[in-house]
Structure 1
């Protein structure tokens, strides 16, 4: 697997095992050590590459240690401080990193709970760790634009200078993106006022602000949905996503009555963000068996299909999300579908083994 595929595989593992991880030690063993070894490429059992419970003698309080120090070319380059997976990552947890950053040659510090990784350097003052990270990696929602920068810290292509040079831009772009994301989820008064004042000619009073708040939220959600559908149209090479999805469903996975109904009536297909999120979860699960690019999707009126190699004869799963009770359809070796009820998208991971088995049967 290439770098991105290994990252997706680790993300799938984290989602699948998250509920059973209770302690910091378990977090290290299950999530963080695999990140150091499979993603960054360092041998966690070689003390010349990875030093657990790292201690520096100068200027550090006795008894305090950093969980891991990564050594490259004989020098400590990266410091890692760990927290248990169910504990939020906060800068208040980084006191050891601050002190050790000043007395070692390390230019990169990582604070993590195994799911969220915050990367720090010394942009604001030399040899003093910044208060804000320049890169934030969330394994529950991987930002693909960060993957090339993360790869520069891996053993095989370690390029510290390039990472530091890009850190300033990454830091501010990342902060801006997180602010925008927060506004889409829960807009503050300034955000509401900004858009209201551009479409409403009167004074933006409290009553007007209350009137426009749900409108701004709804417009933001529709805008995101339009952007997602636009990308899908481009990927499919068609101007009409719904028409393409209906035509591609013509060679349906089975001859069930509901499939025939979909083919006869192909109006009203709407690909939802929830279906796309479910598709990404399925793809993350099965990327341990095949390259993610081989896992594709097609939408129909009553289900959302996940296929191998964009082939109707190679169904991996069906997502039945157009109803109050959601189901994920699992296929056996004879391509017979069994619908498993789920209450949240995370429950798709409960069927990871069956999904991988389905893919493996086509290889």
Structure 2
């Protein structure tokens, strides 16, 4: 049986699409746990209505504690020998779990990862458009020992999201999401991969993700920047603690460059938008870029990254125009930078 854990908070316009995609799965041996994290828009009542439609659905109601706590509540309650996660504004293709279970049985892997498609806000999560909207994360499919999988993740060949993955229960035996911060997937992804014996990677697209400008992690705010920095610090600490057993200095450089690129792209976004505490946000981002730059050799980075970095510190006014637009398009492929640098 697969336990599918869905954290729910104020997503009434989307929750039907998510839960209906679970009820439509061709793999039917499911336990669907909806964790209402103190919703105030009626999402909790929608969850309760679903329990009347299908006995496989159960609901946990709790005060608002954040997505990490909601997921942990589901982990503590679940009974399946396999575990999956779905965010309440996303959906699975109808054969998602069936194909992933088959891959897990065939490969003997503890984790199976699929690809995903990103849908623009306001659009319906139509599986027929998945191939066109596919977000390429994987260099190639295959079955990998956990040591290889963690290095692949650092080098940009595996996704950060737990919703792309199906787990055997034992992977979560000694792991839980860190609570009271956002970006919990980034925080836990390397320990998860490291706890598996093998990881099976599929190139097929089975997760349909909705990009929402108003979602927690997409919002530009000082709280989000601080939480992301905390999560990435844990990510980097895991790498540093496992050199040279798992990682090399090149792997650490990959992580630093990716983090620097994220900081820089958020800086450009802040410059161009009206957001609360804008000056504090910009100061925070620049401070952490300067700190990170001391541990990096920017001369080895692509020219556009070096140019954008120079403008950030020496001519910040320029980023509000054409330079900013050029860099914002560039950041869309920033996750591939580690691979480009390793190939040099």
Fold shared per TM-score above 0.5: no
Greater relative CO, 1 or 2 (CA 8 Å, sep 6+):
2
Q: Tell me the TM-score range normalised by the shorter chain.
A: under 0.3
Query: TM-score normalized by structure 1?
Result: 0.25
- Normalized per residue, the structure richer in helix is 2
The higher radius of gyration belongs to: 1
Query: TM-score normalized by structure 2?
Result: 0.26
